[in-house]
Structures are given as structure tokens and as C-alpha cells.
Structure 1
Amino acid sequence: MHGTMMKKLLCAGAIALAALAPLAQAEEKKTFNLAWTIYVGWMPWKYADESGIMKKWADKYGIEVNISQINDYVESINQYSASQFDGVVATSMDALSIPAAGGVDTTALIVGSYSNGNDGLVMKGTDDLKQIKGQQVHLVELSVSHYILAKALDSVGLSEKDVKVVNTSDADIVAAFSTADVRNVATWSPLLQEVAAAPDAHQVFDSASVPGHVKDLLIVNSETLADNPAFGKAVTGAWYEVMAIMASDTPEGAELRAQLGAASGTDQAGYEAQLKGTHMFFQPAEAVAFISGEPAHEAMDSVRKFSFDHGLLGDGADSADFVGIDMPAGALGDQGNLKLRFDTRYMQMAADGAL
């Protein structure tokens, strides 16, 4: 699921809309719209909506928050960039390379989780990663799977120049790996579990080796948030109420996990297996501590450099510094073009019981 979401499919029209639309109309308002797509770390938004928890928190602050499921992840971010949504789920890499690089001042309101084994590299016939030199690797190009490959190669002193990346649809990865010609694939859960279970398959690297690099966020328009703090408070409050239920060893928690498993095409056991490859920040204080630390800062620096090296920051970017990023542990890039902000204030309010 993760890799599917990462496909870089921006068109010129979407970039133009992204650059222009948010300049227009940030103002105090009463109705807000969020979009989410299916992934283990984002499924809780479905429960927040259908359980009435989001409505309860919105009512508390005198606003309305509509939550919509979108089937196409990249399209949902493009729609957010064009001001059709006030917030959307996204990884840190896509938050940077789509809205922020496109000119939309964007805030990471909630740091919900990071991939901790859900993205990985599988080789056939050997568990020696160094043997991949000179071989083809099948993956969704310019995706988190591509990023994981780059980190895997770096871990054994290799680079992308040492392999040939073959762009392969997520829908075709499992079938491709079953053929004799395909020796190596990088993908995400649950596809990762399928290929790793194949005969003579060896999972040689996964995102647990680079904790915090693939961050799963709720991002919102910075101007909208600044003009409407009630929006930030209601959304954050609802999320952490759901997190408390989801983390609990109670019948209610089990029922939640079963519901989200069914909604994502599996069952409770399957969903809980995916959760094992996901570091969920069930407690807001843990999320604040993580995103405020130096490891998260270093991970974002790595992500922005990968994004620039692969052309994801746009034609106008002359270096990885093109887009400014504000993080608690220090700024990255051009602060005159600050477009991605990690704002811990609302998560801290949740931690302090101040929502």
C-alpha cells in the first residue's frame, strides 16, 4: 500500500493550481474537509468519522469537519494542493515533493506513525545484499520503495548506479517476482509479506533499519490552521481519542482493529500484523518527542536530498535547499521559501490534556 501511494504523478496543471490556490482564501470558517486513503496508519480516520468521535470534537469547537475517503492517494494530495481539502494524509516525502514543492504552505499537524518494517527489499536465491550489484530491481519508481532501495544500497557501500531500476506497477510486483527473470523487488506490506514468503526469497533490508524515515502524517494548509485554531484542536483531539481506543487491550479496541482490518481488505489478525511493521504514536507526547529529536531531523534531511536528486522538487529547484522545512530540531533549506512546517503545538496540547 505504501509504495502505491508514492507514485509521482504531478501534472503541470496540478502544480499551477497548487501554487496559486492557497494564496487566495485562508480565513475564519466553520466547515472543513479532510481526505484519507487506505493504509494501516491512516485507517483510524475512518473510525473517527464513522464512530462519531470526529463530530463530537467538532461540536465542542463549534465547527464541522467532513472526512472523505479517496481511492487515489496522489490525486487526493493534488486535490488538497488545489484547496479542495483543508487537510490530507501523506508521507513526509510526498508532503515535501507535492504540495510544499508546488508552493502550498503546509503544516504537519499530526505525526501519526512511521514505517518500521512495512517497506522492504527482497532478493531471490541469496541473503547477501552485496550480490545485488549489477542486477535489476523491480519497484514503483520514485516511491518510498525506491527510497528504501537507495538506503539499502548505501548500507553496503553501493549506490543506485550499481543496479538497474525497473519501474513496475504495484499490481504486478507479486506476479513478477514469481517469474524466473525477476530476482529482486522492493515493495510494501502486504505485498512485502507475499513476496518474502515465496520459495528461496530473502528479505535483506526493510524500513526498520531506517526508523523514522517514512513518516505518516496528517498535513493541513498552514494559513487555514493559523486562521482557525479550532480546526487544529478538534482534529487532534479526535485522533488521539481514537488512538487510545486502538491501543487498548479491550473489546472496544479489538472491535476497532477488526473493523479497520475488514475495511482495508483483510481481518483483525491481518491488520494487527501490519501494525507490527508500523510504529504508531498512540501517545501524543511520544509523537512530539520523536519529531523534536535529532534522528527525525536527520531523516528529513535524507528524504529531501533523495527528493532533489530524483527531480521530485520540480524543475525550478537548484538544490535540496529549494524548499524550506521548519522542524523543532532546526530549520532545513531556504527559510525564504518555507513551505513545510512540523508544528508540535496541537499534539502538545493533547499531551497536556489542554484540548
Structure 2
Amino acid sequence: MKKQNINFWILALVMTAVTAFQPLNAQKKTSFKVAWSIYAGWNPWDYASKSGILDTWAKKYGVEIKLVKMDYIASIEAYTSGEVDACVMTNMDALTIPVASGIESTAVILGDFSNGNDAILVRNNLTIPDLVGRKVSLVEFSVSHYLLSRALDMSKMKDTDVKVINVSDSDIAPAFVSNSEQEAVVTWNPLVMEIMQTPGVTKIFDSSQIPGEILDLMMVNSKTLKDNPDLAKALNGAWFEVMGIMSTRGPKADNAMEMMAKAGGSSLTEYKAQLKTTAMFYKASDAITYMAGDEIQGNMKKVRNFCFKYKLLGDRVKSAEDLGISFPGGIIIGNASNVMFHFDDSFMKLAAENKL
């Protein structure tokens, strides 16, 4: 699922950019930029924009929202530096880039979780235990790396049992397909679907085996959100209107999803196949229930622990517990005096109750 291992350089460059772009205090404003990137669970934003739905909701709240399509890592860099006000990203990347850079951030929409979009693929009928001592290609320190770590752990193995080969997200599929000597790769859709077409390649583990651990979120700068809640209201209104269209059957839904597929460079058939491995929260009420449940807290601990193990949370964090994460109901895991990541369901509740 969309990521690239440049965390070290991102933190170095972004911390400089943060000083230049981030205001010490957010302020009331009426014009916002929101970044998105290609992914099955995020392509609906393109439809929201092109259909006029996003603009309608923005006007309702007296704001202007410019949706900006960017490469995934570039979008998070722009968010972290303050060039955009909100951005779609995974829970892990939110921790390792903006939060690690000192940008307090809030998830205002829980869009989906990966339910098979991320996978470990092999040649020669290898199993997870067979990976001991072998090379595994992936984007280092990405959710692919996390997926491999979880798969090894569930097989009573250690990360050090395999040799990780770092490959860029743009090269990983063609490099594996063209080189039959490569035996194992970890990546995300649509690259998984592409590689699976290669004869002799099999899937031995995917994100459906760790449900809810790879979350896809709409993150908003917490300072910006505090002074401009109408931004989150407009985003939620637009998002769940689109979800309502997608969850119905018929020409309107197919036309909408065809636009989403085109935005991601896929056919409608391919896009629908990608959605089958994406656990979308089509109803705001379902997203609220999950965000307020116990499972998400345990999953965030796992992700946070992985990030700390690989020193991805920044120099200021001396232990995994040193970083606080808040959830609905006033629940906090980690240091309550250093809460940098918030899950806020209040705007989704307004959507669920038709109060937007």
C-alpha cells in the first residue's frame, strides 16, 4: 500500500521545512488544501471533487477546499511542513513522519483498513518458516516491513531471521517479476495483483490475517482542526455521501466507481477487485464503533512498538510508551503528557446522526 523508505531523510528535510511553513499557532481560515494519493480506499476523494460533492459541502460551511493529488510520500511531507492542511495516510506513516516530526495530528475519518491489500508473495512454494536466511524484497520501514514482521512473529520467528532487501515502490514489482532468482517480496495492491499474474508466484500471508492493524485515515493538523472544525465537518459530509453512493447497487454506483478506478489507473473490474481486499467503513456508525473499540488500541500499540523498535518515532521518544495516543471516550495509551496522535470520532458522529 503506497509507501517508500526515506523516513530518515524525510525527518531531516521535513524538520527544516516545518520551521518555515508551520505557524506557531493555527488560525481561523476559510481556504484549505487537502492532499490525496492513489489507493483503492482513497480514490473516492477524486470522485468527491470531480462530482462537485466536496465543493457542495465546503460551501455549506463557508470554506473552500482544494483537493491536491500528490505522490504518497510527497503528500505526507507537504502535510508535515504545513503546505497542506489535511492528508490521507496510514496510521503507521502518521506516526513515523508528521508525529515523529513534532506535528500533533488528528484522525477525523477512519476510511478503511487493509484486508488483504498488503501481502507476502513467494516463488518455489516457500512458507513463512522457509524464509529463514533468505532475502525478502520490500520497501524498508513501510507497512510492508511491518507486515513481514507480524508474519514472522506469528510464526514464532524474529525479524533478524530474514535479510531485508530495500527496494523502491516504483521498482519492486518489475524487479521481482523480471528476476526469477528473487524468491520473496512484500508489497501492496495493485502491485500484488500484478505480481500474482506471474506463473509460480503464490501468496503466503496478507493483511487479512492482521485485520485492523493497517488503517487508512484522513489526518488533520490538530492546531488547524481546533480553530477550524468546519474543515472536518465538510470532509466528513462529502466522504460519507460518497460512501453512500458506493454502497448502493446500480448505474450511479458503477459510474462513481468507474471514475474512481480511472483516477487510480485501473479498470472498473480491477478496482472492484481491490475493494474486496479493502475493509471500507461505508457507514459512519461502523467507523465510530471500530474507533471506540478495544481492538484499535491494541493494534496501535503493536504499530507503535514496531516503529519504536526501528527508531522511527524521532529522537525525543525514549520508549514506545513515551508517545501518547488518544481515543474516543478520553482513553489514552502511552504518555498522557505527550499525546501527539488523536482519534476523534466527533465529526463522524455528526455524519451518522445526520447533523452535518
State the TM-score, normalizing by the size of structure 1.
0.95
Counterpart CA distance in 2 for 1:6 and 1:248 is: 38
State the Cα deviation string for residues 19-63 of structure 1 (Å, max 9, x = none). Answer: 675452412211111111111111111111111111111111111
The answer to whether structure 1 residue 53 and structure 2 residue 37 are counterparts is: no
Cα RMSD for the two superposed structures: 1.6
Instruction: Trace 1:93-112 onto structure 2 (pairs within 5 A).
Output: 93-112=92-111
Corresponding residue for residue 145 of structure 1: 144
Counterpart CA distance in 2 for 1:180 and 1:105 is: 44
Corresponding residue for residue 90 of structure 1: 89
State the Cα deviation string for residues 298-335 of structure 1 (Å, max 9, x = none). Answer: 11110001111111112332111232211237312222
Q: 1:6 touches 1:94 (CA, 8 Å); kept in 2?
A: no
Corresponding residue for residue 347 of structure 2: 346
Counterpart CA distance in 1 for 2:40 and 2:187 is: 15
Instruction: Trace 1:3-18 onto structure 2 (pairs within 5 A).
Output: 3-4=2-3, 7-8=6-7, 9-18=9-18
Counterpart CA distance in 1 for 2:5 and 2:220 is: 18
| Residue 7 to residue 268, structure 1, CA distance change in 2 (3 Å) | farther
Counterpart CA distance in 2 for 1:193 and 1:73 is: 19
| Residue 45 to residue 152, structure 1, CA distance change in 2 (3 Å) | same
Corresponding residue for residue 211 of structure 2: 211
Unmatched runs of 5 consecutive residues or more in structure 2: none
Q: Percent identity?
A: 40
Corresponding residue for residue 333 of structure 1: 334
**SS across alignment from 2:113:** strand
The answer to whether structure 1 residue 191 and structure 2 residue 191 are counterparts is: yes
Q: 1:18 touches 1:78 (CA, 8 Å); kept in 2?
A: no
Corresponding residue for residue 136 of structure 1: 135
Corresponding residue for residue 67 of structure 2: 67
Corresponding residue for residue 276 of structure 2: 276
**CA drift at 1:5:** 5.2
| Residue 101 to residue 4, structure 1, CA distance change in 2 (3 Å) | closer
| Residue 150 to residue 3, structure 1, CA distance change in 2 (3 Å) | farther
One-letter code aligned to 1:327: F
One-letter code aligned to 1:108: A
**For this pair of structures, how many residues does the alignment match?**
353
State the Cα deviation string for residues 257-285 of structure 1 (Å, max 9, x = none). Answer: 11111121111001111101100001000
Instruction: Trace 1:194-273 onto structure 2 (pairs within 5 A).
Output: 194-273=194-273
**CA drift at 1:242:** 0.8
**SS across alignment from 1:47:** helix
Counterpart CA distance in 1 for 2:173 and 2:21 is: 40
State the Cα deviation string for residues 212-261 of structure 1 (Å, max 9, x = none). Answer: 11100000011211112222111110110111111211211100111111
Corresponding residue for residue 164 of structure 2: 165
One-letter code aligned to 1:323: L
